[in-house]
């Protein structure tokens, strides 16, 4: 059964190569010859600082009709995207070399800012027909182009002021793909259509690629001053140029900005235009590592599960074969889990906190699984910027009803009454979002002080608070109310009035609980490397089919680890299993956070500045808390139903 599930999701992960059906992130637009094409610019980004800044914070040319912001969704705003129009003009199939503008003499502030952005390796992100500009440096593919560079020979800083842009186009003649869209960043669904429908669609050109070669060119300011925007400019033959031919960054320099456009026809079809961006380096190593990890974990989990089932069934069989008198006699002679029947369902320490964490854990786990399923099916393409984060937030808000239900029902099970369910529902609605809100507020003060576009605007703060208190909180309270009306979970045995003393052990039980998190972490850490690289190194991550398999595998391993640890504690007469079952699988978050620190030290060595480090650690902490709540909840719920099943088979008065 497990092998069948694995094969199914591996086929799902590779389904993108099929031609019969396609789920792109934006609808296809065909252009007529000489038709103008809109180019946009996004925030300046750097893997050195991770602090995005607006494009027009630098002395770049502005559009003749002024700077206009594009509509941004919630996810884009939270990621620090700031998409503006640009002065770059494109006309379909028209190759040209144009002048944009010449700046005023650079002042001291502008020179310092340009040099700082150059030293911090900031990249300019240009977008054409929803495709980011792509460049190749040392046979490595990058998105965007640098603000400038420092010459190792002259030790001078040079600005990128000329762009050689190549637009790859495909002539559309009715390819049998029907596109239904809602906008440039909307969803589209493709399928096979008839020849009659093909003939009804007008021919044109599709943009299937956008490449850039950045150059630094020193031009004569006197000659450039006589030109107007979009006048013809001399093309650049070779790039890069010698240092004496490049535009240095210094005070009183006037910088001329020019660009040239070349349209190239290609056989690349529109549904495949994102393949170049989503192609991962070292794909064979990635696939082999994931498959190897899956096979090993399935093998180990299967062995543990089989041994565990045989042990428990043997204990139950021997116990149930005895009559009541023999059972009563053996209760004083036998050791193990049979001796804690009167204490195993005793109320745990901090029961309210446990119920709150269970409710939030179900909410986070549900959000993650549903989001990954939709992403694996192709509904959350990287072409739709911010859609993944927006979808996660919306799902989290509406899953509040399940969080309230689970939290209140767990409270009723532990306490035996619904009294206090309202305050519990409020805690469920505010616990994890409150942690996120506090961390983001602290990080936001740092971003505000740096002037970064990654800072959350005050208006967005009020929007998030409105969504929180107008959607999530009411739904959580509704879920809590439904939890009070649901049938209570009855314990199969009575709890003794006096608790049984737990035997002393040579080693603390929490040491074993923390060590148990290594097995779930083993299923996650390979994929975690690629996820962290996509977030902090500006790479695209789109192997959601594999991620879905890894998450399902993680759920199975968390459940088994918690059950095994719970059984081991019961066998040594430790009836305080509630929190240990939660942290047996939830402790994987500790290793995730430690791995994040290791990634910061050894893989993000270029990350500079205390603000960047605090930003990284803050987001890593939020991720670790979310993983702890979700995996801990999975392990606890599995352990609870296991203990309930185990002791419901024991008939003791």
Contact assessment for residue 41 and residue 127, using Cβ atoms and an 8 Å cutoff: yes
* pLDDT above 90: residue 305: no
What is the rounded average pLDDT of the residues 531-535? 85
What is the rounded average pLDDT of the residues 513-536? 85
Top-ranked range on mean pLDDT: pick from 4-8, 191-195, 613-617: 613-617
> In terms of C-beta density within 10 A (0-12 exposed, 13-18 middle, 19 or more buried), how is residue 314 classed?
exposed
What is the rounded average pLDDT of the residues 277-304? 65
Between 429 and 339, the higher pLDDT residue:
429
> Which band of pLDDT confidence, cut at 50, 70 and 90, is reported for residue 188?
very low
Confidence at residue 300, expressed as pLDDT on a 0 to 100 scale = 64
Place of tokens 């440096």: 137
Confidence at residue 329, expressed as pLDDT on a 0 to 100 scale = 56
* pLDDT above 50: residue 191: no
Confidence at residue 549, expressed as pLDDT on a 0 to 100 scale = 82
Between 642 and 593, the higher pLDDT residue:
593
Helix, strand, coil percentages for the chain (3-state, nearest 5)? 50, 15, 35
Confidence at residue 179, expressed as pLDDT on a 0 to 100 scale = 42
> Which band of pLDDT confidence, cut at 50, 70 and 90, is reported for residue 529?
confident
Confidence at residue 482, expressed as pLDDT on a 0 to 100 scale = 95
d(CA 206, CA 217) in angstroms, rounded, equals: 31
* pLDDT above 70: residue 24: no
Contact assessment for residue 562 and residue 643, using Cβ atoms and an 8 Å cutoff: no
> Which band of pLDDT confidence, cut at 50, 70 and 90, is reported for residue 178?
very low
pLDDT digits (tens, 9 = 90+) for 119-135: 999 999 999 998 999 99
d(CA 184, CA 25) in angstroms, rounded, equals: 9
Beta sheet of 140-143, edge-to-edge order: 96-102, 256-265, 162-172, 204-215, 134-137, 140-143
Give the torsion through C-alpha atoms of 330, 331, 334, 336, to 10 deg. 150
What Cα–Cα distance (Å) separates residue 40 from each residue in 63, 132, 599? 11, 9, 33
* pLDDT above 90: residue 290: no
Handedness of CA 171, 17, 24, 535 (dihedral sign): negative
Buried/exposed 465-499: b ≥16 CB within 10 Å, e otherwise: eebbeeebbebbbebbbebbeeeeeebbbeeeeee
Segments in 517-571 forming alpha helices (H)? 518-536, 544-571
Percentage of the chain lying above the pLDDT 90 cut: 42
* pLDDT above 60: residue 545: yes
* pLDDT above 70: residue 276: yes
What is the rounded average pLDDT of the residues 365-394? 86
* pLDDT above 90: residue 481: yes
* Cis upstream peptide for 87 (omega within 30°): no
* pLDDT above 50: residue 100: yes
Buried/exposed 348-384: b ≥16 CB within 10 Å, e otherwise: beebbebbbbbbbbbbbbbbbbebbebbbebbbbbbb
Confidence at residue 314, expressed as pLDDT on a 0 to 100 scale = 66
> Which band of pLDDT confidence, cut at 50, 70 and 90, is reported for residue 216?
very high
Question: Is this prediction's pTM over 0.85?
Answer: no
Confidence at residue 279, expressed as pLDDT on a 0 to 100 scale = 67
pLDDT digits (tens, 9 = 90+) for 310-336: 666 666 666 565 555 555 555 554 556
Confidence at residue 319, expressed as pLDDT on a 0 to 100 scale = 58
């Amino acid at each position: 059964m497990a092998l069948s599930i694995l094969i199914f999701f591996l086929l799902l992960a590779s389904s993108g190569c099929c031609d019969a059906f396609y789920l792109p992130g934006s609808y296809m637009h065909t252009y007529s010859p000489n038709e103008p094409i809109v180019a946009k610019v996004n925030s300046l980004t750097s893997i050195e600082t991770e602090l995005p800044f607006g494009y027009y914070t630098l002395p770049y040319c502005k559009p003749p009709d002024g700077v206009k912001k594009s509509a941004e969704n919630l996810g884009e705003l939270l990621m620090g995207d700031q998409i503006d129009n640009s002065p770059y003009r494109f006309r379909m199939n028209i190759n040209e070399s144009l002048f944009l503008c010449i700046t005023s003499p650079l002042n001291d502030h502008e020179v310092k800012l340009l040099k700082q952005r150059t030293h911090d390796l900031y990249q300019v992100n240009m977008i054409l027909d929803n495709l980011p500009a792509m460049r190749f440096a040392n046979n490595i593919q990058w998105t965007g182009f640098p603000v400038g560079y420092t010459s190792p020979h002259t030790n001078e800083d040079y600005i990128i002021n000329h762009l050689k842009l190549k637009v790859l186009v495909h002539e559309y003649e009715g390819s049998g793909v029907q596109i239904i869209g809602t906008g440039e960043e909307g969803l589209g669904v493709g399928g096979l259509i008839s020849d009659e429908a093909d003939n009804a669609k007008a021919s044109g050109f599709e943009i299937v690629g956008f490449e850039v070669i950045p150059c630094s060119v020193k031009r004569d300011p006197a000659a450039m001053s006589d030109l107007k925007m979009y006048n013809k400019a001399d093309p650049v033959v070779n790039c890069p140029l010698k240092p004496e031919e490049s535009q240095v960054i210094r005070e009183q320099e006037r910088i001329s900005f020019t660009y040239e456009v070349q349209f190239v026809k290609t056989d690349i079809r529109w549904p495949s235009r994102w393949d170049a961006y989503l192609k991962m380096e070292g794909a064979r190593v990635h696939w082999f590592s994931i498959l190897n990890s899956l096979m090993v974990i399935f093998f180990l989990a299967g062995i543990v599960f089989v041994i565990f089932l045989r042990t428990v069934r043997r204990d139950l069989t021997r116990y149930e074969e005895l009559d009541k008198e023999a059972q009563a006699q053996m209760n004083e002679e036998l050791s193990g889990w049979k001796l804690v029947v009167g204490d195993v369902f005793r109320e745990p320490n901090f029961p309210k906190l446990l119920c709150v964490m269970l409710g939030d854990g179900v909410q986070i786990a549900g959000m993650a699984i549903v989001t990954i399923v939709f992403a694996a099916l192709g509904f959350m393409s990287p072409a739709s910027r911010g859609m993944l984060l927006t979808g996660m937030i919306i799902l989290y808000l509406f899953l509040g009803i399940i969080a309230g239900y689970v939290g209140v029902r767990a409270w009723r099970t532990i306490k035996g009454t619904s009294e206090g369910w309202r305050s519990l529902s409020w805690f469920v609605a505010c616990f994890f979002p409150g942690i996120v809100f506090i961390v983001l507020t602290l990080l936001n003060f740092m971003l505000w002080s740096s002037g970064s576009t990654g800072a959350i605007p005050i208006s967005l703060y009020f929007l998030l608070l409105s969504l929180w208190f107008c959607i999530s909180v009411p739904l959580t309270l509704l879920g809590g109310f439904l939890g009070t009306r649901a049938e209570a979970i009855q314990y199969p045995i009575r709890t003794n009035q006096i608790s049984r003393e737990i035997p002393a052990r040579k080693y603390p039980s929490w040491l074993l609980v923390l060590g148990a998190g290594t097995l779930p972490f083993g299923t996650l850490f390979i994929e975690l490397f690629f996820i962290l690289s996509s977030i902090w190194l500006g790479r695209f991550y789109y192997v959601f089919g594999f991620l879905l398999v890894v998450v399902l595998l993680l759920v199975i391993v968390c459940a088994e680890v918690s059950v095994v640890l719970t059984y081991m504690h019961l066998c040594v007469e430790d009836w305080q299993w509630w929190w240990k079952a939660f942290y047996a699988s939830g402790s994987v978050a500790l290793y995730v956070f430690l791995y994040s620190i290791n990634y910061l030290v050894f893989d993000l060595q270029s990350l500079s500045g205390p603000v960047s480090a605090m930003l990284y650690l803050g987001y890593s902490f939020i991720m670790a808390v979310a993983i702890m709540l979700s995996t801990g909840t999975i392990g606890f719920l599995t352990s609870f139903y296991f203990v309930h099943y185990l002791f419901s088979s024991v008939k003791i008065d």
